[in-house]
Amino acid sequence: MNSNLPPSGLILLDKIAGVTSCNALFPIRKIFKTRRVGHAGSLDLRASGLIVAAVGRATRLLPFVEAGEKTYSFFAHFGYSTVTDEWDGELLEQDDNTSPISEEDVRRILPQFIGEIDQVPPDFSAIKLNGKRASDLKRKGREVELKARKITIKDLRFEGAAEAPEGATGRIRSSFKFSCDCSKGTYIRSLVRDMAKALGTVGAVSGIRRTRIGHLSVLDAVKSEDLCEASLMKPQDCMKFPVVTLTDKQVEAVRQGREMTWNKEPIQIEDGAPNMVLALDKNGELKAGCSFENGKLSPKFYLGSD
C-alpha cells in the first residue's frame, strides 16, 4: 500500500452482541487515526456477526458491498411477543395456548416466506420518519406507522429445535433455530413476527447473527480485540469484482472522469452482480471504480490521490 496516501481499504469485522454498529468502528478509527470510517449494513445492537468496514477512500465502495445478499442465523421463540420483537423486551402479548408447535407446522409455513415478499419493518428500527428514527419516536411514546417494503428471501432453512433463552419475558410454546439468505433491507425480527402470525401465534427472536455478505464470510472476519493495521485489506483482494490494470495515461483519464474504450483483456460481469470493475495502476494500487458497458469503461468514482 502506498505510504504516501492515507490508509484506505476494507476490514471484515465480527461484531459482538451488545455493541452498536457505530461503536464497533471506534477501534478502527483509533488504529488508523481517521474519522473517515464507514460500514456496510448496520446490525441491531443485540445482533452479532459480519460487518464490512471501510477506511478512507474505500468508503466509496460500501454501497456495492451492502447490496450483496446476506445470510443470517437466528432463534425464533413462539408464544409471546415484545415491544422490540426481541426475547427479553417488554411483554406485549402472551398466547393463551400452551401446547407446543410442531416441526411439521413450522415447515408447512416456510414456503410462503421464500421469494419476493412485502415486509413491514419493526417499530424499533433506524428507519426515519420526518427525519426522526422510528425507534427514538417509540421510546418517547409516539406511535409510528411504517410502510411495507419489498424484500427477497432466497432461502429459509429450518435447523431444528432450540432451547429457551435466558431472560425471556414471556412463556414460550416452542423454540427453533433457522437460517436464511436474503436481500438488503430484510429485518429478521419482522420475519419471526410474521412467521409466528402464520402459525397462529406471536413470537420473538434471539441470537441474530450475520454470517455472510455477498461472498464475504464471518469466518474470515477479525474480532474487535484482535484489530490491527494488518486487518486492513486491499478491496481488490476481498471484493469479487473484475479487476483491470490501467496505463498511466488511462489512470489520468479516469481521474478526470473520462470514459474510455476497453480493448485489452475481456471483462466478464456475472449475471445479477453489480456492474463494477476495479481499476488498478501498474503498481497494483486501486485507482477507481468503473462501470463496463458496450465495450467502454466509465469511471464511477476515483480512489487515488488528487
Cα distances (angstroms) measured from residue 157 to each of 40, 78, 115, 177, 212:
25, 17, 13, 9, 15
Written as one string, the DSSP assignment of 113-148 is GSEEEEEPPPSSSS-EETTEEHHHHHHTT----PPP
- Scanning the chain, the segments in alpha helix (DSSP H) are 26-32, 62-66, 103-109, 134-139, 188-198, 235-238, 248-255
Written as one string, the DSSP assignment of 207-248 is EEEEEEETTEEGGG-EEGGG--GGG-B-HHHHS-S-EEE--H
Q: Which residues contact 173 (CB under 8 A, 6 or more apart)?
A: 78, 79, 95, 97, 98, 99, 100, 101, 201
Q: Establish how many alpha carbons lie within 13 A of residue 11's alpha carbon, considering only the half-sphere containing its beta carbon.
A: 30
Residue from 44, 85, 123, 194 carrying the catalytic annotation? 44
Asked whether the CA dihedral 44, 46, 47, 50 is positive or negative, the reply is positive
Whether the Cβ atoms of residue 239 and residue 278 lie closer than 8 Å to each other: yes
The answer to whether residue 44 is catalytic is: yes
Cα distances (angstroms) measured from residue 266 to each of 10, 261, 293:
26, 12, 12
Residues facing 152 on adjacent strands: 116
Q: How many CB atoms lie within 10 A of CB 304?
A: 18
**Which set of grid coordinates corresponds to residue 98?**
400452551
CA–CA distance, 264 with 56 (Å, rounded to integer): 30
Residues belonging to the active site: 44
